[in-house]
């Protein structure tokens, strides 16, 4: 009974503490593994981005401050361009000549195109296949297939599909296209080849997520909407879409991260070529780390990626929070 | 009493020593290699060494050849104690050296009075700051493979060991028959098979930041592609077409490739997997003013891990492997050892399936072999840059001049730092 | 089910819209499947036939023996066994721990929730290539090098699962949890009796994704597993890519075979996506 006498504020904080403890007990099993095997190494790589390290034992790391960042931004050259030809010339130099600028530009372009395309395809397929269309089991399995297959085999297959005289070009020619080159050997089409394969692979994957999410939409909401006289389209806009919001939040973040981290497809299909037309951030990281053995530089590039993704995530996060508060 | 103790001690020591030599009876030497279970020379080397050195067993650790450098970087960083690592390329070795994983072999070599004459100077590519950190056991140089049947059918004389690049181009154009899908020559997608010949003069290198000398070779390739005398790069790279299958298919008359291809070719012809039947070897063509038989090549070697617990044994093995005895075993498996002597050359040309004509035999002994790309701290970065511009030139996304201008600009910027 | 018939009353009639949907579905399926058809076709060819033009969809003489060769040329059976062990363990640990942690993120209020969550997402954003080496050194010092357990702990605690489950749990109305709390159910009880049964579809998704992801992982096993008896399928697959030759026909055959177990898992679990299973829980 003594609890009642205590001031309200104190009691709340005690409850809070208890809740926090319960929450931590939920988190602990996963968080312990996560912290040891992922978080600590990631923090180490943050530190690594300020060091020069050639491999060897961790004690041979040499602190170099912002040097690695200066290297990847090529501040000397870009600065010189800015000083001589103005700010814009410097920016232009960065995005057309410097490895980081080029791979950043390529990666952002790839992400901006691939994310919406994948999302739209995934939602549409999920909506169609959520209804008991005849054969939906078969369709779902078929559409998920690309995700299941091993990347090595898949990329070789697609490279062949997209060759000069391959089936895709022949089909396009039938529709009046005059493009007559292997996609991966053309500076512009190589990027689209990677977009194509990525969307092809993503759409089934995110379709499955949306299918699962659609199971969670309470049917009562549709019933209520029907009673209110909403047509199908209105139902979609006012019931389905808002209910899919957490999933879309998840899907778009995972897609953006996935696109920013694209590696396998590029490494196997184009290896960044022709020239540097499809050079992406992670390919750049990989080469710096395991071809040139500049682990510090590789980590610095990874930090750029981390910062971008975190900014995008926080933005989306706050948008989601604002929405759920409304 | 003292005597008794001394006797006892001596007995214990003797016992310890004998038991030590018992333990020595089954020593296992661990070697990290790529394609270990399928590469002919690795299997042959293991068998030969175990036969002549009873009590030692060789155990390979097989690593995927594509990801060899990545995996080895991780293994070494993690403190791996495998005794010997195969050396795939010089920039990676340089990195292992800088990170402190390689054992300095100078003392061992001095003590054993190790004879390096058979390497004809190639071993210096494995020396850093006066330390010999690895020894080569394979030395592959670029050589011209040709399909005799296609030359016979076209009525063109076989390639010779003293051809110029113009003669080579002419032959390719003559043998090619686009209507029958017959190509005069074949370039794999690498920069090396396309233009590395520039270093054969002993003056040019790929790390000097000046690449106008490559234009000559790019021009030959583009002319040949335009005449449909060789498959276009863009399709080879898109399909990921492997050169072994390409030449094996029997519709390619010539192909510049590393000597290692001899072993693959012989095995696959024996197994009936290839259509090509009669083939020969010729020296790479040369530019005017460069001695016939000049070419470029690369080394494959072995280094001893500093963390190995049995460095003496490891030295014993690599001394054997890289010397004349090991060289003969390597040669017997169809590969070109780094150590060459007349005895070794005899073994090379006498293996079953090797062409019997004099020209092919003579092509086995190049007059000069330049290193493909010298090992410096910047080599791997330079080859990445060259590789990127190479793909842009070869897909015709930029002209040869533009590509070379890019190479010059980018590499020079790197060198200035 | 009657109510559902009312909502989607056009289900049993054939309408032009429906025909259009089918045509589109079939087109998309063809687009999806063509590379696989080529893959199967290539798996029945000889190495040198794989890239010849004009391409043959049906090989002249199918070489079925390719499917035999892959089992003898490399120890494929061992690779399968290892991959299966890893995939099953990872899936089990991942599903259990991340659905547990996700509950805290989605339904409990505690200090540092958002920061911790950003930590999780942040690590997803860092490419593995960047922290692979420090991680390797760490794992090696814990004695996990060249052990299947290394891949298990590497994959099982990924942030992905937590994030996915958190998003699904957010869909479950908080009122349900409140009501249960008032009824005296502990948080663990809510997780076990309300959250889990309501998220079968989500769990099925996580199981599929984790299983497939682990099954197809290449870089992890490549770096951590060294001895022949410990390697996995994806590592084994690359053994057909050698320095001096690439057996594309065998890669394709092995890829086709490695597709089978994952497809079975998918087909088995996809029944949880059939409309209505999850929602019926809400009504009751």
Is C72 in CB contact (< 8 Å) with chain B? Answer: no
C-alpha span between B264 and C26 (Å, rounded): 45
pLDDT in tens, C218-252: 888 998 998 888 999 988 888 888 777 778 888 88
Could you state, in order of their start, the residue ranges of all structural domains in chain C? 2-64, 67-283
Is residue B242 scored above 50 in pLDDT? Answer: yes
Residue B229 backbone dihedrals phi, psi, to 5 degrees: -90, -10
Q: Is B40 exposed, middle or buried (0-12, 13-18, 19+ CB in 10 A)?
A: middle
CATH number of domain containing A76: 1.10.3720.10
Percent of chain B, pLDDT > 70? 94
- Measure A289 CA to nearest chain C CA, in Å: 8
Vertex A84: Cα angle to A80 and A85 (nearest 5): 115
Please name which of C140, C231, A60 lies closest in space to residue B80, comparing C-alpha atoms: C140
- Within 8 A by CB and 6+ apart from A310, the residues are C118, C121, C122, C125
Number of other residues whose CB lies within 10 A of the CB of residue B45: 24
Q: What is the pLDDT of residue B6?
A: 60
Q: What is the pLDDT of residue A3?
A: 44
pLDDT in tens, A169-203: 888 888 888 888 889 989 899 999 999 999 999 99
**What is the topology classification, in CATH, of domain B25-140+297-350?**
D-Maltodextrin-Binding Protein; domain 2 (3.40.190)
Quick check: A290 and B69 CB within 8 A? yes
Is residue B17 scored above 50 in pLDDT? Answer: no
**Surface of C (68-87) touching A: CB under 8 A:** none
Quick check: C51 and B245 CB within 8 A? yes
Is C282 in CB contact (< 8 Å) with chain A? Answer: yes
Top pLDDT among A180 and B322 is at B322
Which residues sit opposite B368 in a β-bridge? B294
Q: What is the pLDDT of residue A160?
A: 84
Helix (H) or strand (E) holding A62: strand A62-63
Neighbours of chain B (3+ CB pairs under 8 A): A, C
Residue B357 backbone dihedrals phi, psi, to 5 degrees: -75, 160
pLDDT in tens, B160-170: 999 999 999 99
C-alpha span between B13 and B1 (Å, rounded): 18
In chain A, whose CA is at the least distance from the CA of B406?
A97
Residues of A in contact with B100 (CB under 8 A): 56, 60
Q: Are residues A219 and A161 in the same domain?
A: yes
Quick check: A160 and C55 CB within 8 A? yes
Helix (H) or strand (E) holding C63: none
Interface A-C, measured as beta-carbon pairs within 8 A, has a size of 320
Q: Are residues A228 and A88 in the same domain?
A: yes
Residues of A in contact with B99 (CB under 8 A): 54-56, 60, 293
Percent of chain A, pLDDT > 90? 31
Under the banding of pLDDT at 50, 70 and 90, the label for residue B83 is: very high
A61 within some domain:
no
- Mean residue pLDDT of chain A comes to 86
C-alpha span between A55 and A51 (Å, rounded): 11
Is C50 in CB contact (< 8 Å) with chain B? Answer: yes
Give the single-character DSSP code of B356.
-
Is A56 in CB contact (< 8 Å) with chain C? Answer: no
Contact in structure between B248 and B275 (CB atoms under 8 Å): yes
C-alpha span between C258 and A149 (Å, rounded): 8
Is B239 in CB contact (< 8 Å) with chain A? Answer: yes
Of C51, C136, C244, the CB nearest to B244: C244
Quick check: C97 and A29 CB within 8 A? yes
pLDDT in tens, C123-148: 888 888 888 888 888 888 888 888 89
Please state the pTM of the whole predicted model. Answer: 0.87
Please name which of B231, A148, B256, B151 lies closest in space to residue C51, comparing C-alpha atoms: B231
CA C127 to chain CA mean position, Å: 19
In chain A, whose CA is at the least distance from the CA of C33?
A142
Quick check: B65 and C136 CB within 8 A? no
Phi-psi region of C276 (alpha: psi -120 to 50; beta: other; left: phi over 0): left
CB-hemisphere CA count at 13 Å for B282? 23
Is C227 in CB contact (< 8 Å) with chain B? Answer: yes
- Measure B181 CA to nearest chain C CA, in Å: 10
Of A55, A60, A164, the CB nearest to B95: A55
- Measure A239 CA to nearest chain C CA, in Å: 13
Neighbours of chain A (3+ CB pairs under 8 A): B, C
Q: What is the pLDDT of residue B59?
A: 93
Q: What is the pLDDT of residue A237?
A: 84
Q: What is the pLDDT of residue B4?
A: 60
State the best of A39, A148, A283 to mutate against chain C, taking most chain C CBs within 10 Å.
Answer: A148
Residues of C in contact with B244 (CB under 8 A): 244-246
Contact in structure between B266 and C247 (CB atoms under 8 Å): no
Number of other residues whose CB lies within 10 A of the CB of residue A74: 20
Contact in structure between C237 and C37 (CB atoms under 8 Å): no
Is residue C281 scored above 50 in pLDDT? Answer: no
Q: Are residues A27 and A115 in the same domain?
A: no
Q: What is the pLDDT of residue C267?
A: 83
C-alpha span between A197 and C35 (Å, rounded): 10
Of B237, B240, B397, the CB nearest to A156: B240
Quick check: helix, strand or coil at residue B279?
strand
Token pair in block for residue C124: 């997803």
CA B157 to chain CA mean position, Å: 30
C-alpha span between B48 and B62 (Å, rounded): 19
Q: Are residues A132 and A261 in the same domain?
A: yes
Is C229 in CB contact (< 8 Å) with chain B? Answer: no
Q: What is the pLDDT of residue B19?
A: 44
Give the single-character DSSP code of B189.
S
Quick check: helix, strand or coil at residue B25?
coil
Of the listed ranges B36-40, B87-91, B94-98, C221-225, the least confidently predicted one is B36-40
Number of other residues whose CB lies within 10 A of the CB of residue B291: 13
State the best of A46, A164, A216, A295 to mutate against chain C, taking most chain C CBs within 10 Å.
Answer: A216
Unique residue bearing structure tokens 């095997």: A37
Please name which of A34, A172, A192 lies closest in space to residue A109, comparing C-alpha atoms: A192
Interface A-B, measured as beta-carbon pairs within 8 A, has a size of 96
**Residues in chain B whose Cβ is within 8 Å of chain C:** 34-35, 37-39, 61-67, 70-71, 73-75, 77-79, 239-242, 244-245, 248-249, 260-261, 263-264, 268, 273-275
Q: What is the pLDDT of residue C278?
A: 41
Is B97 in CB contact (< 8 Å) with chain A? Answer: no
Under the banding of pLDDT at 50, 70 and 90, the label for residue A72 is: very high
Is residue B20 scored above 80 in pLDDT? Answer: no
Is residue C2 scored above 60 in pLDDT? Answer: no
Quick check: A29 and C162 CB within 8 A? no
pLDDT in tens, B245-277: 889 889 999 999 999 899 889 988 998 888 899
A238 within some domain:
yes
- Mean residue pLDDT of chain C comes to 83
Give the single-character DSSP code of B159.
P
Quick check: C226 and B66 CB within 8 A? no
Quick check: B75 and C133 CB within 8 A? no
Residues of C in contact with B242 (CB under 8 A): 245-246, 248
> Pairing mode, if any, of strands B84-87 and B294-304?
antiparallel
- For residues B245, B247, B251, B256, the Cα torsion angle rounded to the nearest 10 degrees is 150
Q: What is the pLDDT of residue C283?
A: 31
Residues of B in contact with A277 (CB under 8 A): 392, 397
Of the listed ranges A92-101, A126-135, A253-262, B399-408, the least confidently predicted one is A126-135
Is residue B369 scored above 70 in pLDDT? Answer: yes
Cis amide leading into A274 (omega within 30)? yes
Top pLDDT among C132 and B173 is at B173
Q: What is the pLDDT of residue B2?
A: 56
> Pairing mode, if any, of strands B183-185 and B252-258?
parallel
Helix (H) or strand (E) holding B151: helix B148-154
Q: Measured between alpha carbons, how far is residue A129 from residues A93, A126, B329, C204 in Å?
A: 48, 5, 63, 17
> What ranges in chain C are assigned the alpha helix state H?
2-7, 16-43, 66-73, 76-107, 113-125, 128-141, 148-156, 159-171, 174-182, 187-190, 196-198, 200-216, 219-224, 233-237, 248-269, 277-283
- Measure A20 CA to nearest chain C CA, in Å: 5
Q: What is the mean pLDDT of residues B207-211?
A: 92
Quick check: C29 and A149 CB within 8 A? no
Is A290 in CB contact (< 8 Å) with chain C? Answer: yes
Number of other residues whose CB lies within 10 A of the CB of residue C178: 12
pLDDT in tens, A8-51: 445 557 777 888 888 889 988 999 999 999 999 999 999 999 99
A178 within some domain:
yes
- For residues A135, A126, A161, C245, the Cα torsion angle rounded to the nearest 10 degrees is -90
Of the listed ranges A256-260, B217-221, B237-241, B351-355, the least confidently predicted one is B237-241
A58 within some domain:
no
Residues of C in contact with B190 (CB under 8 A): none
Contact in structure between C175 and C109 (CB atoms under 8 Å): no
Of the listed ranges A128-137, B358-367, C37-46, C233-242, the least confidently predicted one is A128-137
Quick check: B67 and C238 CB within 8 A? yes
The tally of domains found in chain A comes to: 2
C-alpha span between B116 and B110 (Å, rounded): 11
Number of other residues whose CB lies within 10 A of the CB of residue C269: 18
- For residues A226, A232, A234, A235, the Cα torsion angle rounded to the nearest 10 degrees is 60
Q: Are residues A44 and A115 in the same domain?
A: no
Token pair in block for residue C85: 């062990």
Region(s) of chain B under CATH 3.40.190.10:
25-140+297-350, 141-296+365-416
Quick check: A186 and B395 CB within 8 A? yes
Q: Measured between alpha carbons, how far is residue C7 from residues A225, A240, C4 in Å?
A: 10, 13, 5
Q: What is the mean pLDDT of residues B227-242?
A: 87
In chain B, whose CA is at the least distance from the CA of A291?
B380
Quick check: A187 and B392 CB within 8 A? yes
Structural domain C67-283, CATH architecture: Orthogonal Bundle (1.10)
Residues of A in contact with B384 (CB under 8 A): 287, 291-292
Q: What is the pLDDT of residue C277?
A: 40
C-alpha span between B126 and C213 (Å, rounded): 41
Quick check: B242 and C245 CB within 8 A? yes
Token pair in block for residue A57: 């034992």
Is residue B351 scored above 60 in pLDDT? Answer: yes
Q: What is the pLDDT of residue A132?
A: 62
Unique residue bearing structure tokens 């184009």: A270
One DSSP character per residue, C8-45 reads TTTTTS--HHHHHHHHHHHHHHHHHHHHHHHHHHHHTS
pLDDT in tens, A296-320: 999 999 999 989 988 888 888 788 7
Of A40, A167, A219, the CB nearest to C34: A167
Under the banding of pLDDT at 50, 70 and 90, the label for residue B171 is: very high
C-alpha span between C159 and B304 (Å, rounded): 40
Helix (H) or strand (E) holding B378: none
Under the banding of pLDDT at 50, 70 and 90, the label for residue A277 is: very high
Residue C186 backbone dihedrals phi, psi, to 5 degrees: -75, 170
CATH number of B141-296+365-416: 3.40.190.10
- Mean residue pLDDT of chain B comes to 89
Range of the domain at A30: 2-48
C-alpha span between B45 and B182 (Å, rounded): 39
């Amino acid at each position: 009974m003594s609890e009642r006498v205590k001031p309200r504020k104190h009691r709340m904080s005690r409850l809070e503490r208890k809740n926090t403890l319960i929450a931590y007990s939920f988190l602990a099993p996963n968080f312990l593994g996560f912290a040891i095997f992922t978080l600590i190494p990631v923090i180490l790589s943050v530190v690594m981005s300020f060091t020069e390290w050639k491999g060897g034992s961790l004690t041979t790391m040499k602190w170099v401050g912002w040097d690695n960042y200066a290297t990847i931004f090529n501040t000397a050259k870009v600065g010189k361009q800015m000083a001589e030809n103005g700010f814009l010339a410097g920016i232009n130099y960065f995005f057309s000549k410097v490895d980081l600028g080029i791979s950043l530009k390529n990666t952002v372009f790839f992400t901006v195109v691939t994310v919406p395309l994948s999302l739209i395809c995934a939602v549409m397929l999920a909506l169609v296949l959520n209804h008991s269309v005849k054969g939906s089991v078969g369709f779902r399995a078929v559409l998920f297939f690309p995700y299941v297959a091993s990347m090595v085999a898949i990329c070789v297959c697609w490279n062949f599909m997209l060759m000069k005289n391959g089936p895709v070009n022949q089909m396009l020619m039938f529709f009046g296209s005059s493009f007559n080159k292997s996609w991966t050997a053309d500076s512009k089409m190589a990027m689209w080849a990677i977009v194509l394969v990525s969307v092809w692979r993503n759409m089934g994957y995110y379709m499955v997520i949306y299918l699962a999410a659609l199971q969670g939409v309470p049917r009562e909401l549709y019933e209520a909407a029907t009673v209110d006289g909403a047509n199908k389209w209105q139902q979609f806009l006012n019931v389905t879409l808002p209910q899919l919001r957490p999933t879309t939040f998840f899907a778009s973040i995972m897609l953006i991260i996935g696109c920013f981290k694209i590696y396998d497809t590029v490494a196997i299909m184009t290896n960044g070529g022709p020239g540097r037309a499809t050079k992406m951030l992670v390919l750049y990281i990989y080469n710096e780390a395991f071809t040139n053995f500049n682990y510090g530089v590789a980590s610095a590039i990874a930090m750029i990626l981390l910062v971008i993704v975190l900014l995008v995530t926080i933005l989306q996060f706050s948008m989601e929070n604002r929405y759920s508060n409304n | 009493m003292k005597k008794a103790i001394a006797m006892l001690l001596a007995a214990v020591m003797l016992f310890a020593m004998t038991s030590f030599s018992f333990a020595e009876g089954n020593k296992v030497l661990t070697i990290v290699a790529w394609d270990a279970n399928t590469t002919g020379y690795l299997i042959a080397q293991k068998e030969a060494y175990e036969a002549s050195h009873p009590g030692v067993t060789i155990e390979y650790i097989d690593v995927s050849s594509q990801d060899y450098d990545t995996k080895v970087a991780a293994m070494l960083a993690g403190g791996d104690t495998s005794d010997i690592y195969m050396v795939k390329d010089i920039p990676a070795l340089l990195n292992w050296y800088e990170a402190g994983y390689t054992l300095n072999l100078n003392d061992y070599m001095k003590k054993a009075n190790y004879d390096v004459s058979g390497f004809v100077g190639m071993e210096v590519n494995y020396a850093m700051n006066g330390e010999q950190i690895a020894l080569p056991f394979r030395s592959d140089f670029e050589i011209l493979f040709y399909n005799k049947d296609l030359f016979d059918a076209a009525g063109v004389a076989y390639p010779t060991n003293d051809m110029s690049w113009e003669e080579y181009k002419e032959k390719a154009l003559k043998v090619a028959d686009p209507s029958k899908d017959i190509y005069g020559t074949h370039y794999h997608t690498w920069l090396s098979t396309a233009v590395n010949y520039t270093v054969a003069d002993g003056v040019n290198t790929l790390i000097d930041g000046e690449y106008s000398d490559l234009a000559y070779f790019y021009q030959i390739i583009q002319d040949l592609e335009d005449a449909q005398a060789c498959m276009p790069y863009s399709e080879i790279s898109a399909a990921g077409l492997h050169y072994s299958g390409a030449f094996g298919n029997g519709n390619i008359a010539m192909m510049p490739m590393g000597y290692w291809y001899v072993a693959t070719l012989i095995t696959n012809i024996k197994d009936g997997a290839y259509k090509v039947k009669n083939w020969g070897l010729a020296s790479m063509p040369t530019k005017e003013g460069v001695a016939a038989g000049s070419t470029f090549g690369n080394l494959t070697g072995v280094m001893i891990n500093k963390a190995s617990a049995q460095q003496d044994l490891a030295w014993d093995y690599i001394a054997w492997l890289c010397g004349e005895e090991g060289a003969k075993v390597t040669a017997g498996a169809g590969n070109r050892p780094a150590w060459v002597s007349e005895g070794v050359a005899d073994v090379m040309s006498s293996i079953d399936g090797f062409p019997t004509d004099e020209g092919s035999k003579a092509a086995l002994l190049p007059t000069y072999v330049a290193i493909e790309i010298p090992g410096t701290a910047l080599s791997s970065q330079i080859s990445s840059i060259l590789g990127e511009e190479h793909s842009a030139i070869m897909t015709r996304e930029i002209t040869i001049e533009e590509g070379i201008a890019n190479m010059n600009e980018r590499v020079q910027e790197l060198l200035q730092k | 089910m009657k109510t559902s018939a009312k909502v989607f009353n056009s289900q049993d009639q054939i309408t032009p819209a429906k025909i259009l949907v089918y045509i589109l579905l079939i087109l998309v399926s063809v687009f999806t499947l063509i590379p696989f058809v080529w893959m199967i076709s290539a798996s029945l060819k000889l190495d040198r036939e794989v890239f010849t033009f004009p391409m043959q969809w049906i090989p002249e003489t199918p070489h079925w023996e390719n499917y035999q060769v892959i089992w003898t040329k490399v120890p494929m059976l061992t690779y399968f066994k290892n991959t299966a062990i890893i995939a099953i363990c990872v899936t089990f640990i991942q599903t259990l721990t991340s659905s547990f942690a996700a509950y805290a993120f989605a339904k409990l209020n505690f200090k540092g929730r958002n920061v911790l969550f950003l930590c999780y997402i942040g690590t997803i954003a860092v490419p593995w290539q960047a922290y692979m080496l420090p991680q390797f050194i760490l794992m090696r010092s814990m004695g996990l090098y060249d052990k299947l357990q290394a891949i298990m702990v590497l994959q099982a605690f990924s942030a992905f699962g937590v994030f996915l489950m958190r998003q699904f749990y957010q869909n479950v109305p908080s009122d349900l949890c409140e009501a249960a709390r008032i009824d005296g159910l502990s948080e663990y009880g809510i997780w076990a009796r309300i959250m889990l049964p309501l998220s079968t579809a989500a769990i099925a998704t996580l199981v599929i994704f984790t299983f497939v992801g682990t099954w197809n992982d290449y870089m992890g096993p490549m770096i951590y597993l060294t001895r022949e008896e410990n390697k996995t399928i994806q590592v084994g697959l690359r053994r057909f890519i050698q320095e001096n030759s690439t057996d594309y026909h065998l890669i394709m055959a092995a890829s086709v075979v490695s597709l089978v177990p994952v497809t079975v898992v998918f087909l088995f679990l996809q029944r949880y996506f059939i409309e209505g299973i999850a929602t019926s829980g809400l009504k009751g």
